[in-house]
Chain A
Amino acid sequence: MFEPKIVAFFCNWCTYTAADLAGVSRMKYSPNVRIIRVMCSGRIDPELIVKAFEKGADGVIIGGCHPGDCHYQNGNHKTLRRYKLLKGLVEQFDIEWERLRLEWISASEGEKVQRVSNEFTEQIRVLGPIQMKGGRVVHG
């Protein structure tokens, strides 16, 4: 069975804390998800996301605070805008936009981390390995 590699950028204040909660509560969830903690979802440069794809991630999850809860007031507003812009762009490069997912998960929603991770892993498993046009070997 195809085991997708998934990179998850979780914000320090809400989603990462929720993942911690899932952990200490011993909730089991898909081990395909590799979590990277960032201070705010608003600091996730689109470059980091595409770089994750380029390095072989089959899917990327962005986790941030619910609107209104951002530790930095409106970092997650920027996340949403960049996410929407990026979705339009990745499609032009023949990457399914479903490989990119944004979720608002608060610090108390450990079970949402579990659910989203499992759901997303299954979704990417169905999509199969990522194909990037750039995967071709450079001449010479």
Chain B
Amino acid sequence: MAEKPTVAFYWCASCGGCEEAVVDVAHGILDIVNAVNIGFWPVALDFKKGDVEDVPDGFYAATFINGAIRNSEQEEMVKLLRKKSGLVFALGACAHLGGIPSLANLTSKEEILEYVYRRSPSTENAQNTYPAKVYRDAAIKLELPEFFDRVYPLNQIIDVDYYIPGCAPPSELVADVFMKILKGELPKKGAVLSPNKSLCSSCFLNDTKPEKLLIKELKRPHLTVIDPDKCFLLQGLVCMGPATRTGCNERCIHGGMPCRGCFGPLDGVLDQGLSMLSALGSILDFTPEQEKELDGVIGKIGDPAGTFYRFSLGASIFYRQDGKRGGE
């Protein structure tokens, strides 16, 4: 029997949902375990950093990293894993685009630490504990990982070979990627492993969208009785479908909620949020004479960055200078 390839899993700034997506492959996981050795998976099995340091470079055939990069410990680990791996996969929206954690980029590091350790109503911090990189007292000197002032998607820290989008990625997609690796059917490096089409193009509500979609108002989902059988944009809800990659089987739409954009932008789009902003600009039905009404409607988007960039703020061109694209 030929030597089985070894794979590794690691998590950074994430919620654990992506690990869950791997476990949710369920019966399929047995096929995967039969085909590969798991060489590193701290969330499920007992491994230490030393185990990674001990293997030769390029030892792991594929490494799946989920979560964004928030601190220097994560940076160190992913750089180490990069060295020890053949292929690196960014698993899930946080590793791919920064994800929800990257919304913290709108707030400075100082503001975040100040709130969490001093000002939040539930904080009890009589000793005034506050994170520092180095801690000293008479007996000891401790060094802690540094909390960065930004959250980075994985490709701004290390070279990434492939992206598995989604928050969390559907387990069918994860299983599909495993099969592609084993059969050697991966596309060219840098690809996002999901169809390069917008969610609208595969959405089952697309037929209810008129030829020329125009809207006069914007509504917020929690204040609206949503008709689950009618295009959400047509109902005035900000559905990210036009600016989001498909491949999720319209999970949210089936659940009666507008798309929030977790699969990220299509190939060639530099910035998902601006792409959605542009789409919305096209369909808001106001002429320059109706500027006042237009201002009123736009004012209803309470938090534009949080709405348009819910999962992709870390990858926004507002934050980058290297010109690299979301999936490239």
Interface size of B by CB at 8 A reads 44
Which among B58-66, B130-138, B251-259, B282-290 touches the partner chain?
B282-290
The answer on a CB contact under 8 Å between B282 and A78 is yes
User: Given the known A-B contacts A77-B286, A80-B288, A84-B294, are A140 and B79 also in contact in the complex, defined by CB atoms under 8 Å?
Assistant: yes
Which of B49-57, B169-177, B300-308 interfaces with chain A? B300-308
> Could you say which of B86-94, B194-202, B271-279 contacts chain A?
B271-279
Complex CA gap A46/B278 in Å reads 6
Q: Is B148 an interface residue (CB 8 A)?
A: yes
Tell me whether A134 and B321 are in contact in the complex, defined as CB-CB below 8 angstroms, given that A82-B278, A88-B301 are known contacts: yes
Is A132 interfacial (CB-CB < 8 Å)? yes
Residues of B within 8 A of A89 (CB): 273-274, 277, 304-305, 308
B9: Cβ under 8 A from any A Cβ: no
* Interface contact B320-A92, CB-CB below 8 Å: no
With A46-B274, A54-B317, A139-B152 as contacts: A67 and B79 at CB distance below 8 Å: no
Q: Complex formed: what's the CA distance from A134 to B72 in Å?
A: 18
Is B318 within 8 A of A139, CB to CB?
A: no
Closest to B269 in A: A47
- Report whether B305 and A93 are in contact in the complex, using a CB–CB cutoff of 8 Å: yes
Complex alpha-carbon distance, A124 and B281, angstroms: 26
The answer to whether B291 and A80 touch across the interface, beta carbons within 8 angstroms, is: yes
- Which interface class (under 10, 10 to 19, 20 to 34, 35 or more) fits A? 20 to 34
> Which of these, A45, A67, A77, A133, contacts B278 with CB under 8 Å?
A45
Per-residue CB contact flags for chain A residues 42-67 toward chain B (1 = under 8 Å, else 0) read 00011100110010000000000001
Task: Report B-chain residues with C-beta under 8 Å of the C-beta of A84.
Answer: 294-295, 298
Q: Which residues of A contact B298 (CB under 8 A)?
A: 84-85, 88
CA distance A136 to B294 in the complex (A): 36
Interface residues of B in 98-154 (CB under 8 A from A): 105-106, 148-150, 152
Query: Taking the complex as formed, is A21 at the interface, i.e. its CB lies under 8 A from any CB of chain B?
Result: no
Q: Are B317 and A51 in contact (CB under 8 A)?
A: yes
From DSSP, what is the main secondary structure of chain B's interface residues? helix
> Of B156, B270, B281, B288, which is within 8 A of A47 by CB?
B270
From B106, B149, B156, B271, give the contact of A92 (CB < 8 A). Answer: B106
Q: Is B161 an interface residue (CB 8 A)?
A: no
List, in ascending order, chain A residues with CB within 8 A of B106's CB: 92-93
Check: A24 CB closer than 8 A to any chain B CB.
no
Alpha-carbon distance A78/B214, docked complex (angstroms): 12
B319 within 8 A of A: yes
Q: Are A132 and B278 in contact (CB under 8 A)?
A: no
A126 in the interface (beta carbon within 8 A): no
Counting CB contacts under 8 A, is B25 at the interface? no
Which residue from A45, A80, A82, A133 sits with its C-beta under 8 Å from B318? A133
What would be 24 A-B contacts, judged by CB atoms less than 8 Å apart?
A: A45-B274, A46-B274, A47-B275, A50-B318, A67-B288, A77-B287, A81-B281, A81-B286, A82-B281, A84-B295, A84-B298, A85-B304, A86-B274, A88-B298, A89-B277, A89-B308, A92-B106, A92-B303, A92-B305, A93-B106, A133-B318, A134-B320, A140-B79, A140-B158
* Contacts from B to A (Cβ < 8 Å): 69, 72, 75, 79, 105-106, 148-150, 152, 156-158, 269-271, 273-275, 277-278, 280-282, 284, 286-289, 291, 294-295, 298, 301, 303-305, 308, 317-322
Which 3 pairs of residues, A with B, have the shortest CB-CB distance?
A82-B281, A134-B319, A67-B288
